Amino acid sequence: MAPEQSWWQTAVVYQVYIRSFADGNGDGIGDIEGLRAKLAYLGRLGVDAIWINPWYPSPMADAGYDVSDYRDIEPSYGTLDEAQSLIAEAHDLGIRVILDIVPNHTSDQHVWFKAALADDPGARDRYHFTSGRGDDGSEPPNNWQSIFGGPAWTRVADGSWYLHLFAPEQPDLNWDHPEVRAEFEDVLSFWFERGVDGFRIDVAHGLVKVPGLPDGVDPSVDAVPHSMLVFGDQHPAWDQDGVHEVYRGWRAVADRYTPERIFIAEAWVSSNERLARYLRPDELHTAFQFDFLRSPWRAEKLREVIDDAIGSAASVGAPPTWVLSNHDVTRTVTRFSRSQPDQLVETDWERARWAREEPDHELGRKRARAAALVQLALPGTAYVYQGEELALEEIEDVPDDLRQDPTWVQSGYTDVGRDGCRIPLPWKDTAPPYGFAGDPAAVTWLPQPDHWAPHSVEAQERDSASTLSLYRDALELRPTLWRDAGDLKWLTAPDGVVAFERGASQCWVNISTADVDLPHGAVVVLASVPGVETTLPVDTAVWVRTE
């Protein structure tokens, strides 16, 4: 295809949730040494880049998304020197390294916030401090709710309030303050100088708020679970036009470097059109499109979501992006292991509803494998969340006293939150900790289930029909079959079957309730279930070449 194509436009990016990836020193917490030791695994898997969740010093009120120092490494994860070695070793394997930047809020232990609490002159202006409502100011300044539950405001000793769209330990920065802007541009350079290839931008749609912080007008705000999806662009905290100027500044910083440095936006906005605004030529390079992970396992929805994602990305000349899951949502296997809604899934609501229905994980696994082949055949960038290649399921019965996600406490113990998709990976075909930590006596920061031995890397490496083998095969074939294959064309297919062609390759997936015949002359190159030749079973996908 066009020679001006950049790696990130077609890459497979593997998301490393560092806390749960691999533990190098036996304290039960994943770390940089653990990740370095597994780089060969990622090389063998065939990914083009890794995105590492925040690894900066953090009190861990929100698993590292509460950053206390943007220019260092969390001590329990390692050191700057180790980070430097990791970046170099990844590059030696041809793997790019993307970090996670958290600009919407700092930790309450950041020097800036400590200065604000100490009431140093001017220090509060870097955050959103204001007085409360009511005669004695004891009511929060507005009706905004925290994403994790409860009011988005906390009162400090002298009676004023500060804003936190997430946990109270994550005070929101004031992006109208020039020092805030300058600081983050400098942090970007700090890491670019160290060879980092790009950043995933956390809550990219949240930085700029409507001046004066008015009440949200959505009357349902207090009645519904508080997900970023629900708020969309209807709320004065999200997706404000002023945010785009911030990213123009960031782009100018990135453009000073070669090779190319890139940005990926995490922006939960109300439509792909709104999302496309972040991807204008002088702004960010790419953005997660989340409708794919919100799509139920239904043919018509899948087709709709794919068309919509491709269309809106094309409108700004960006590649579409495909995400099946990440560290914030229910794992794919579990999402597909229960009855499927008619509409796109609102993650928080679904979590509550699903808890009441028995999951069929074998069914979920079959569908997740099929979904992976669809994902990896589509044009653009694919993100693989660690453990997807092992078809791990959500662990829904983490004991209450071991839960770590602030959502659990802040929701008044009604939403179990995201711990279930963050369980440390099983590497060895043994018992917990399954080689996650070298020391078999290590206690992992979240408990692993006792039935994961067959899902371990070691067990799956022995089995050519395992999900790990399927991912390896798919990633090996992807460059030849799909990477430069060009535009997607839908094929005529029976009801409930999704089929598309790109160049000389086709992808077929059967989401109906009966087997279907594959087209005459089709040669199956890869199937999500072994042994498929001329008939495509239910919940199965294939890649075929037409002669």
Instruction: Compute and round to an integer the Cα radius of gyration of the chain.
Output: 23
Is 39 or 210 the residue whose CB approaches Ca ion more closely? 39
User: How far is residue 132's CA from residue 145's CA, in Å, rounded to a whole number?
Assistant: 15
Closest by CA to 47, choosing from 10, 17, 88, is 10
| Residue closer to ligand GLC (CB basis): 106 or 448 | 106
**Out of ligand GLC, Ca ion, none, which partner does residue 405 contact, by CB within 5 to 8 A per kind?**
none
Distance of CA 402 to the CA centre of its chain: 23
Binding of residue 202 to ligand GLC (CB under 6 A): yes
Q: Strand, coil or helix: what is 302?
A: helix
Catalytic residue (one of 266, 283, 389, 415) = 266
Q: Which is nearer to Ca ion, 14 or 445 (CB)?
A: 445
Residue 31's binding partner, choosing from ligand GLC, Ca ion, none, with beta-carbon cut-off 5 to 8 A by kind? Ca ion
* Contact yes or no for 110/67 (Cβ under 8 A): yes
**Would you call 67 exposed, middle or buried from its count of C-beta atoms within 10 A (0-12, 13-18, 19+)?**
buried
Report in angstroms how near the CB of residue 82 gets to Ca ion at its nearest. Answer: 11
266 is catalytic: yes
Q: At what angle do helices 243-254 and 178-193 cross, to 10 degrees?
A: 30
CB 207 within 8 A of CB 243: yes
Q: Which is closer to Ca ion, CB of 198 or CB of 435?
A: 435
Q: Which of 12, 18, 22, 29 binds Ca ion (CB under 5 A)?
A: 29
Task: Output 149 or 432, the one with its CB closest to ligand GLC.
Answer: 149
65 versus 231: smaller Cβ distance to ligand GLC? 65
Strands 540-546 and 161-163: unpaired
Q: How many chain residues touch ligand GLC (CB under 6 A)?
A: 9
What string marks each residue from 30 to 69 as x (binds Ca ion by CB under 5 A) or -? Answer: -x--------------------------------------
Site string for ligand GLC, 4-43 (x = CB under 6 A): ----------------------------------------
Q: What character string, x for contact with ligand GLC (CB under 6 A) and - otherwise, covers 254-293?
A: ------------x---------------------------
- By C-beta, is 328 or 501 nearer to ligand GLC? 328
Nearer to ligand GLC, 201 or 305 (CB): 201
When CB distances are held under 5 to 8 angstroms depending on the partner's kind, the choice from Ca ion, ligand GLC, none that residue 328 binds is ligand GLC
Distances (CA, A) of 409 to 67, 149, 395, 404, 423: 20, 9, 18, 9, 19
Taking residues 45 to 64 in sequence order and writing x for each that binds ligand GLC by CB under 6 A, - otherwise, the string is: -----------------x--
Angle at Cα 228 formed by Cα 223 and Cα 234, nearest 5°? 75
SS3 349: helix
Residues 76-105 that bind ligand GLC (CB under 6 A): 102
CB of 294 to ligand GLC, least distance (A): 15
Cis peptide before 259 (omega within 30 of 0): yes
Tally of CB atoms within 10 A around 349: 15
DSSP letters for 421-437: G-PPPP-SSSSTTTTSB
In the residue annotation, 533 being an active-site residue is answered as no
What SS3 class is residue 413?
A: coil
Query: 419 is in the binding site of which of ligand GLC, Ca ion, none (Cβ under 5 to 8 A by kind)?
Result: none
The minimum distance between CB 122 and ligand GLC, in angstroms, equals 25
Those residues whose C-beta lies under 8 Å from the C-beta of residue 441, and which sit 6 or more positions away, are: none
Give CA angle at 15 (37, 455), nearest 5°. Answer: 70
Measured distance between the N- and C-terminal CA atoms of the chain, rounded to whole angstroms: 21
Candidates 22, 97, 201, 203; binder of ligand GLC (CB under 6 A) is 203
Structure tokens at 324: 């099946």
User: Per CB under 5 A, does 393 bind Ca ion?
Assistant: no
Coil vs helix vs strand at 475? helix
Q: Of 170, 153, 147, which is closest to residue 60 (Cα–Cα)?
A: 170
The Cα–Cα gap between 128 and 175 comes to: 10
Interacting positions 504-533 with Ca ion (CB under 5 A)? none
CA distance 374 to 391: 15
Which amino acid belongs to residue 542?
A: V
Binding partner at 304 among ligand GLC, Ca ion, none, C-beta below 5 to 8 Å by kind:
none
Q: Which residue is nearest to ligand GLC (CB)?
A: 65
User: Which residue shows structure tokens 């179990």?
Assistant: 416
Would you count residue 65 as binding ligand GLC (CB under 6 A)?
A: yes
The one of ligand GLC, Ca ion, none whose footprint includes residue 79, by CB under 5 to 8 A per kind, is: none
String marking each residue 101-140 x if it binds ligand GLC according to CB under 6 A: -x--------------------------------------
Residues in region 156-175 near ligand GLC by CB under 6 A: 166
Pick the closer one to Ca ion by CB: 386 or 410: 386
Tokens of 161: 């309030």
Of the candidates 328, 329, 353, the one whose C-alpha atom is nearest the C-alpha of residue 339 is 353
The nearest distance, CB 104 to ligand GLC, in angstroms, is 7
**Which region, judged by CB under 5 A, interacts with Ca ion, from 26-34, 138-146, 157-165, 210-218?**
26-34
CA gap 338, 539 in Å, rounded: 14
Report 303-342 residues binding ligand GLC (CB under 6 A).
Answer: 327-328
Residue 341 identity: P
State the nearest-atom distance from the C-beta of 102 to ligand GLC, in Å.
6
| Contact residues for ligand GLC, defined by CB under 6 A | 62, 65, 102, 166, 202-203, 266, 327-328
Binding region for Ca ion (CB under 5 A): 23, 25, 27, 29, 31
Tell me which residues are annotated as active site: 202, 266
